[in-house]
C-alpha cells in the first residue's frame, strides 16, 4: 500500500492526503486513485483558467482605456449590413438555448420520458402567442426573441421525444444560471451604475466621451457599458461542457468550440461596428461571461462530484 501510495502521489504531483482525511475512509486502491484524480483538477482549476483570462483582459483593458474612442472612430460604420444583422439576431441563439434549457430543467424532473416534453411545448405555445403580438404591434425585437423562445424548444422536444432529459438537467441549470447572473444581473447593474454614452450618441466634438474606468452617474439615461448583446452572444459557452471530455481532435469537440467562439466574437465585433458599443464594453461582457462559466463548471462538474465521492466514503465507513 505504501508503494502504491507514493507512486500515485508523485505521478500526479499532489500532496499526500492530510491526516484529517484518514486512510480508514479509503477502502481500495481504485477509490484512492479516484480521490487523487478529483483533487488535482480542483486544486489547479482556477489558476489554470483564470490566468488564461485575466492576463489578456488586463492588457486589453489598458489598451482600450487609452484608445477606445480612436478605435471606434476608425472602425464604426453605421450602415454595416453585418453589424445590423448582429444587432437583430445576435441574441437569438442565446434565447433559443435558454428556452431549450428551461424545458429540460423542468421536464427532466418528470420520471416518464415522454411527459418530460410537456413544459417545452407549453413554453413554445406561450412564446408563439407573444411572437404573434410582436408582429401585429410591429415590435421586431419582441417578435424575434419570442420566435427563438418558441420554435427551437418545440423542435428540440420533437427530435428528442423518446430520449430521457434527466442527464442534461445539470447543463440546463448552468445555462439558466449564466443567463441570470451575467446578462440579467451583472450587465444590467453595471449599465445602471456606469451610464456611459454610446459612440453613436456622442456630441460632434466628442466632449461627452468617457473612458470605461470613469462611471458617469447612476441615473444617466445612457447604457453603453457593458454590452448586453455580447453577454447574450456568449450564452453558448456552457455547450463546451458537453465536449470537455472528448479527445482534442474529435470533430464534435472542434465544431462546438469553433461555433461557440465564432458567434461570441462575431456578436461582440458587430456591436462595435455599428457604433452602439466601444471595444471595452464588449471586452468586459466577454470576461464576465467567461468568469461566470468557469465558476459554473467548477460548481456543477467538479465540486459536486467531489462532494458526492466524499459522502459515499463516509457512508461506507459508517456502515462497517
pLDDT range class, residue 314, cuts 50, 70, 90: low
By the 8 A CB rule, do 126 and 268 touch?
A: no
Residue-wise pLDDT for 106-161, tens only, equals 999 999 998 999 999 999 999 999 999 999 999 999 999 999 999 999 999 999 99
Rounded CA separation 282/167 (Å): 33
Q: Coil, helix or strand for 22?
A: coil
Residue-wise pLDDT for 200-240, tens only, equals 999 999 999 999 999 987 777 899 999 999 999 999 999 99
Long-range contacts of 238-246 (CB under 8 A, 24+ apart): 238/97, 238/171, 238/174, 238/175, 238/178, 238/293, 238/296, 239/97, 240/293, 241/171, 241/174, 241/297, 241/300, 241/301, 242/171, 244/297, 244/301
Query: How far is residue 290 CA from its own chain's centroid?
Result: 6
Share of the chain above pLDDT 90, in %: 70
Helix axes 140-159, 81-89, angle to 10 degrees: 60
The model's pTM is 0.81
Residue-wise pLDDT for 277-308, tens only, equals 999 999 999 999 999 999 998 888 776 555 55
pLDDT value, residue 245: 84
Q: Which residues contact 221 (CB under 8 A, 6 or more apart)?
A: 195
**Cell, residue 78:** 453605421
Every domain of the chain and the residues it spans: 2-91+168-319, 109-164
**Cell, residue 242:** 458537453
Buried b (16+ CB within 10 A) or exposed e, 116-148: bbebbeebbeebbebbeebeeeeeeeebbbbbb
Q: Which single residue is written with the C-alpha cell 454614452?
A: 197
Amino acid at each position: 500500500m505504501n508503494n502504491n501510495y507514493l507512486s500515485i502521489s508523485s505521478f500526479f504531483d499532489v500532496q499526500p492526503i492530510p491526516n484529517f482525511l484518514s486512510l480508514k475512509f479509503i477502502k481500495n486502491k481504485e477509490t484512492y486513485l479516484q480521490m487523487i484524480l478529483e483533487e488535482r483538477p480542483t486544486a489547479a482549476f482556477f489558476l489554470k483558467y483564470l490566468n488564461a483570462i485575466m492576463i489578456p483582459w488586463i492588457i486589453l483593458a489598458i489598451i482600450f482605456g487609452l484608445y477606445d474612442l480612436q478605435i471606434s472612430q476608425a472602425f464604426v460604420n453605421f450602415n454595416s449590413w453585418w453589424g445590423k444583422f448582429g444587432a437583430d439576431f445576435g441574441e437569438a441563439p442565446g434565447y433559443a438555448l435558454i428556452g431549450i434549457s428551461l424545458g429540460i430543467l423542468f421536464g427532466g424532473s418528470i420520471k416518464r420520458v415522454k411527459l418530460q416534453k410537456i413544459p417545452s411545448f407549453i413554453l413554445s405555445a406561450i412564446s408563439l402567442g407573444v411572437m404573434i403580438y410582436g408582429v401585429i404591434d410591429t415590435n421586431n425585437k419582441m417578435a424575434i426573441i419570442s420566435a427563438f423562445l418558441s420554435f427551437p424548444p418545440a423542435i428540440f422536444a420533437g427530435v428528442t421525444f423518446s430520449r430521457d432529459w434527466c442527464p442534461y438537467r445539470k447543463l440546463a441549470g448552468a445555462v439558466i444560471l449564466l443567463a441570470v447572473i451575467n446578462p440579467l444581473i451583472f450587465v444590467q447593474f453595471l449599465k445602471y451604475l456606469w451610464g456611459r454614452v454610446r459612440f453613436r450618441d456622442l456630441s460632434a466634438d466628442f466632449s461627452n466621451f468617457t473612458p470605461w474606468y470613469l462611471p458617469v452617474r447612476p441615473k444617466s439615461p445612457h447604457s453603453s457599458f457593458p454590452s448586453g448583446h455580447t453577454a447574450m452572444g456568449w450564452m453558448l459557452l456552457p455547450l463546451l461542457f458537453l465536449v470537455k471530455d472528448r479527445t482534442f481532435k474529435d470533430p464534435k469537440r472542434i465544431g462546438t468550440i469553433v461555433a461557440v467562439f465564432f458567434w461570441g466574437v462575431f456578436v461582440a465585433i458587430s456591436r462595435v461596428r455599428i457604433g452602439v458599443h466601444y471595444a471595452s464594453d464588449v471586452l468586459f461582457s466577454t470576461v464576465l461571461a467567461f468568469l461566470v462559466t468557469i465558476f459554473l463548471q467548477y460548481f456543477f462538474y467538479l465540486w459536486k462530484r467531489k462532494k458526492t465521492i466524499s459522502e459515499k466514503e463516509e457512508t461506507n465507513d459508517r456502515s462497517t
